[in-house]
Amino acid sequence: MMEWEIVIGLETHAQLRTNSKIFSGSSTAFGAAPNTQANAVDIALPGVLPVLNRAAVECAIRLGLAVGGKIAARSIFARKNYFYPDLPKGYQISQYETPVIAGGSLAIVVGQAGQSYEKTVALTRAHLEEDAGKSLHEDFHGKSGIDLNRAGTPLLEIVTEPDMRSAAEAVAYAKALHALVRWIGICDGNMQEGSFRCDANVSVRPRGSEVLGTRREIKNLNSFRFMQQAIDYEVQWQIATLEDGGRIEQATVLFDPATGETRAMRSKEDAQDYRYFPDPDLLPLEISPDWIARVKADLPELPAEMKARFESEYRLSAYDAAALTAGREICVYFADCVAAAGRENAKLCANWLMGELAARLNKEGREISAAPIPPLQLAALVRRIADATISNKIGKEVFDALWSGEDKDVDAVISDRGLKQISDGGALEALIDGVLAANPKSVEEFRAGKEKAFNALVGQLMKATRGKANPQQVNELLRRKLSDRDVLRPPD
Amino acid sequence: MINSSLKELGAALAEKRISSVELATLLIERIEALNPTLNAFITVDREKTLAMARDADRRLGAGLAGPLTGIPLAHKDIFCSEGWLTTCGSKMLANFASPYDAHVVQLMKAAGLVTLGKTNMDEFAMGSSNETSFYGPVKNPWDNTRVPGGSSGGSAAAVAARLTPAATGTDTGGSIRQPAALCGLTGVKPTYGVVSRYGMIAFASSLDQGGPMAKSAEDCALLLSAMSGFDPRDSTSLDRPAEDYRRDLEKPLAGLKIGLPREFFAAGMAADVREAVDEALAEYRRQGAVTVEVSLPSSGLSVPAYYVIAPAEASSNLSRFDGVRYGYRAPEYTDLADMYCKTRAQGFGAEVKRRILIGTYVLSHGYYDAYYLQAQKIRRLIANDFVQAFRHCDIIMGPTTPSTAFALGAKSDDPVEMYLSDIYTIAVNLAGLPGMSIPCGFGGEGGKLPVGLQLIGNYFDEARMLGVAHRYQLATDWHKRMPEEA
């Protein structure tokens, strides 16, 4: 049986967060009544002309800086000519031979905690273009409706090299890019509204082959789950086809979430000749070093930089550091938390953030920005665990109280509920004596060599203290007591 | 009154010797009388015109008038004009009432000019004889069996027949200068980027430029001052300070160096045209100018380069006419592709289709490098030729057209012959330079057909170019001659 290698490249359309369209002054807000946000330029009346929105260019520069790409001093807008009712001019203004951004890369972490690996995906280019309108095929009884609100919305198309070798890598890349475009504020990342959508070029080849297989392009993947499913299906289909002695024809395919299958939309023979040529209505886009410097000064610390910093300064694992920099919100939360808890407690902050807090948010379907426990409260909790005021286990009880909003102050919760850890040796000794006296059977069993009986005794003690006994101290004291033959001899 | 200059009309209006309403009425009546023969106007709307004239009269009465307030003006039907049909000479837009004004139309309104109507033109400005119009050919007022030139043939015929004191035109390869020459007018194509293209229906975006057509250089200077200026809605509009193009009108010609391109004076120019041009050059020498020979070695390639670049851009620019949102849609079709095909097959005329096909071909995969890229290189060579030539002269002169007005139908079956009628004008568009045509005599049988002298200025040198034309018009009266019919 031949071993196959999967090769994937992604093209992502990120809708840029500008107030107005890329070549007209119309609003880009989502959800307005059809054709209410389409002006003369957007509907391509005779005689109208495009004027480039500098804010869209600034978004491209931000991405270029964030991925370490080359920002072209001079790039050209070209017309991509084809007829479609939702394409008012009969051409889309895009960039073809000279894109605004060339090269760059994105680091990704693939897989689950403990078995993850890092990888760098090289970018080919990123270019600016305008979106088309929408064709509406329902509600018009045999006709189609056209909504041109989206026509002219600015897009940045970000293209990778065929660097990914599994659906998991493709999804990890898409997630990293999704986080990045939101991080640098150029795209709202709303996949349901189509603000961030991916096309995946998928091919397979015998492992060890240098030649790329024939690719099929899966269009318009608008969720990470669909991306995973679509690529998995496509790969399995391509391998099955080849193993059956078939050939892969270059094609564009669509993923149907209902069936979980991909199906061909058009083959290479149907490929259109777009007759690209430089748009004579627009001057070449010139970006000065000055402009780039201004944008750079305005850029936040980037996720890759923060990830590296978290690993070196806080000694976090690559997986943890990647998870904590997967989005601006979680990262800011973490940074605030560490600042208040002290950097020596960073790892504990990370554990709480990615453990209890993440689980709770996930369970309730909340975003971290809507977490009921602000970073400073979590930091206070972490500090009390770190200084042994409470145990990690009791920490969860405090966390619950904070989460429910019953209390806002960690120390108040601890004192009001008497959760302070019992670390006083004398007090603990007395308690242990009581437990040993009440459980002679367990003591006997332990002495007979049953280690389990020790745990039962610890459990009894914890029960008696409602979990507040310092577990480490309990262990030590209990062992000492049990080894002392004089202690707890059955009464004569 | 009908042969008065804009300055004279402005004075008559200011001194209340005539009102704008009276002037407009007089011209509308002339249009009603002569347009059935000439076919110079596609749309005339007496009520709209008179409403504007009344408004102008109020401004004149209130002392709020500028030098052009109340003067009627015709717009080539390529300029979108709010509330007016804007057909571009095509069935495709026969029902298109523009919801907005072109920048030029806005500026002309702001200057107080009164819109007299929309003039006939070659369909989508593709033609050199005004015979490709969906609305039928325009007749040359000097000889109704002959063409007025094109594509701004309606504007040219209207001014020549004194149906309007002035008109707007557009020039992609000679569409202002060539009809101005054939109809005995003064017409100016400014430097590319001086006049905003916003609202001017695009033919070939990198070549199109609007400009004035009138009786004299002085009139054109006045009009160009009003219609030019930076427009942020046109990315190719040049952000330069506003100019008064009359500033050099009186500048003497002594010492002016006139460059005569060797290639323009070679074979191909008709004898009557050569004679008139030579006589005009003699007049310039009499006024103290000197002529020097210059060379534009690549100019012979301008027609082929133009007929790659212009159709390429046009094929894309005209894609928006698809029957979906406005304009003509075929009454019957089976599906989307059929709707597109029938709409465009029925909505466009033969010449427009020819150029869309040429343009589509030269942009196609595998042909782009051989045609479009090559043509762009030639374009650069042509522009460089002019840069070289202007090192040796202040202005370039030559014929506007190789012959006087040709007969209707004479070239309509031979597109290449038709394209060659723009042989002297096209290079100017490819280089983006300002050029103009002024009347310099008559030729043809019995000497009844106007001949045009072409002036080509350096970039942004419109004021000087207009001054050079004006000094000639002070010494000659060719520009004051009217066809008998008028």
B241-261 residue pLDDT tens: 989 999 999 999 999 999 999
Hey, are the CB atoms on B372 and A277 less than 8 Å from each other? yes
Task: For residue A194, count CB atoms less than 10 angstroms from its CB and return exposed for 0-12, middle for 13-18, buried for 19 or more.
Answer: middle
Least confident of A178-182, A411-415, B110-114, B399-403: A411-415
Rounded distance between C-alpha atoms, residue A347 and residue A222, angstroms: 35
pLDDT tens string A164-205: 999 999 999 999 999 999 999 999 999 999 999 999 999 999
Averaged pLDDT for residues B104-108: 98
Task: Give B414's pLDDT tier (boundaries 50, 70, 90).
Answer: confident
Least confident span in A478-492, B17-31, B77-91: A478-492
- Are A83 and B98 a contacting pair at CB < 8 A? no
* pLDDT for position A391: 83
Of the candidates A337, A332, A338, A330, the one whose C-alpha atom is nearest the C-alpha of residue A314 is A338
- C-alpha span between B275 and B279 (Å, rounded): 6
pLDDT value of residue A46: 98
Q: Which of A45, A52, A90 sits opposite B319 (nearest CB)?
A: A90
Q: Averaging pLDDT over each range in A254-263, A362-371, A467-476, which range is the top one? A: A254-263
Q: Is the pLDDT of residue A489 over 70?
A: no
Query: Which residues of chain B does A280 touch, with a Cβ-Cβ cutoff of 8 Å?
Result: 204-206, 236, 313
Interval B136-184: pLDDT, tens:
999 999 999 999 999 999 999 999 999 999 999 999 999 999 999 999 9
Q: List, as one string, the DSSP characters of B394-413.
A: SEEEEESSSSSPPBTTSSTT
**Mean pLDDT for the stretch of residues B110-128:** 98
Cβ of A47 within 8 Å of Cβ of B80? The answer is: yes
Q: Is A83 on the interface with B (CB under 8 A)?
A: yes
- Amino acid at position A215, single letter: R
- Shortest distance between the Cα of B236 and any Cα of chain A, in A, equals 7
Give the per-residue pLDDT at B206.
98
Q: Where are the domains of chain B?
A: 6-256
User: Is position B175 annotated as part of the catalytic site?
Assistant: yes
Q: Is B231's pLDDT higher than 50?
A: yes
Helix axes A471-483, A451-464, angle to 10 degrees: 130
Please confirm, yes or no, whether B133 is among the known catalytic residues: no
Cis ω on the peptide bond leading into residue A203 (within 30° of 0)?
Answer: no
- Whether B412 sits among the annotated catalytic residues: the reply is no
pLDDT exceeding 90 applies to what percent of chain B?
95
Instruction: Characterize B256-280 residue by residue with b for buried, 16 or more Cβ atoms within 10 angstroms of its Cβ, and e for exposed.
Output: bebbbbebbbeeebbebbebbbeeb
pLDDT tier for residue B77 given thresholds of 50, 70 and 90: very high
Q: Which of B151, B152, B298, B315 is catalytic?
A: B151
Residue B460: left (phi > 0), alpha (psi -120 to 50), or beta? left
- Report whether pLDDT(A492) > 90: no
Name the E strands within B171-227: 186-189, 210-214
pLDDT confidence of residue A452: 84
Q: What is the mean pLDDT of residues A434-452?
A: 82
**Chain B nearest-CA residue for A89:** B320
- Per the model's pLDDT, the better-predicted residue between B148 and A463 turns out to be B148
Cβ of residue B374 closer than 8 Å to a chain A Cβ:
no
- Give residue A137's pLDDT band: very low, low, confident or very high (50, 70, 90): confident
User: How much is the average pLDDT of B260-264?
Assistant: 95
Q: What would the mean pLDDT of B396-422 be, rounded to a whole number?
A: 91
Report residue B200 as tokens.
């001017």
Query: Closest chain A residue to B373 measured between Cα atoms?
Result: A277
pLDDT tier for residue A239 given thresholds of 50, 70 and 90: very high
Task: Read off the pLDDT band of A414 (50, 70, 90).
Answer: confident
Q: What is the mean pLDDT of chain A?
A: 91
Which CATH topology does B6-256 take? Amidase signature (AS) enzymes (3.90.1300)
φ, ψ dihedrals at B45, nearest 5°: -135, 95
Q: Return d(Cα A45, Cα A132) in angstroms, integer.
A: 15
Query: Per residue in A58-93, pLDDT tens?
Result: 999 999 999 999 999 999 999 999 999 999 999 999
Task: Report chain B's mean pLDDT, rounded to a whole number.
Answer: 97
**pTM here?**
0.90
Answer for the pair A82, B321: CB distance below 8 angstroms, yes or no.
no
- Lowest model confidence (mean pLDDT) among A12-21, A310-319, A444-453, B437-446: A444-453
**Total H helices, total E strands in chain B:** 15, 11
Q: What percent of chain A has pLDDT over 90?
A: 67
pLDDT of residue B106: 98
Across B295-320, average pLDDT: 97
- As a whole number, mean pLDDT of residues B266-283 equals 94
Residues in contact with A107: Cβ distance below 8 Å, sequence separation at least 6, in sequence order? A118, A119, A120, A121, A176, A304, A307
**Confidence at B486, pLDDT banded by 50, 70, 90:** low
d(CA B324, CA B308): 28
Residue A467 pLDDT > 80: no
- At residue A464, the 3 state secondary structure works out as helix
Q: To 5 degrees, how large is the angle CA B401–CA B403–CA B408?
A: 105
- The mean pLDDT value for B427-452 works out to 97
Residues in chain B, total:
486
| Token pair in block for residue B189 | 């194509």
Instruction: Give CA separation, B16 vs A36, B12, B60, in Å.
Output: 48, 6, 9
Are the beta carbons of B320 and A46 separated by less than 8 Å?
A: yes
Q: pLDDT tens-digit profile of B339-380?
A: 999 999 999 999 999 999 999 999 999 999 999 999 999 999
Highest mean pLDDT, choosing among A134-148, A338-352, B132-146: B132-146
- Which residues are registered as beta bridge partners of A218? A200, A253
Average pLDDT estimate for B125-140:
98
Asked if the Cβ–Cβ distance from B199 to A52 is below 8 Å, we say: no
Is residue B433 a contact partner of residue B393, using CB atoms and an 8 Å limit? Answer: no
B110 touches A: beta carbon within 8 Å: no
pLDDT tier at A338, thresholds 50, 70, 90: very high
The yes-or-no verdict on residue A491 having pLDDT over 50 is no
In DSSP terms, A70 is beta-bridged to: A102
B86 neighbourhood in chain A, CB within 8 Å: 46
Q: What token pair was written down for A11?
A: 């093209």
Q: Among residues of chain B, what percentage have pLDDT more than 70?
A: 100
A164, β-bridge pairs: A8
Give yes or no for a contact between A436 and A464, defined as CB atoms under 8 angstroms apart: no
pLDDT band at A485 (very low <50, low <70, confident <90, very high): low
What is the DSSP code string of A408-451? Answer: S-HHHHHHHTT---B--HHHHHHHHHHHHHH-HHHHHHHHTT-H
Q: B434 pLDDT exceeds 90?
A: yes
Is the Cβ pair A85, B234 closer than 8 Å?
no
